[in-house]
Amino acid sequence: MKIVLCCSDGMSTSILVKKMQDAAAERGMDADISAMPVSTLETNAQDADVILLGPQVRYMLKDVKKEFPAKPVEVIAPQDYGMARGSNVLDFALKLAGK
């Protein structure tokens, strides 16, 4: 499963990505989780199963959903993002993917 997190420059999500990778490893899941700036989604997220936006770019939700109509795209809960609750965000991504 490939999960893409995006924010304004791809840096602020790196801690959350690490926590999500740790949570996936603890569960024995094979997950490709990465962070990138929202500006690079068009070229770098074509094979993503789920796209999650950081709260700071929630204003882009409609545009990203339009760009990727066949993929689940949502905004990460601000509390989970701010506290880097990797397990919660992983659960959210799995739910969006129907897994």
- CA 43 – CA 91 distance, rounded (Å): 26
- Cβ neighbour number for residue 5 with a 10 Å cutoff: 25
* Phi–psi pair at 5, nearest 5 degrees: -105, 140
Which residues are identified as catalytic?
7
Task: Look up residue 81 and give its two tokens.
Answer: 């993002």
- Cβ neighbour number for residue 2 with a 10 Å cutoff: 15
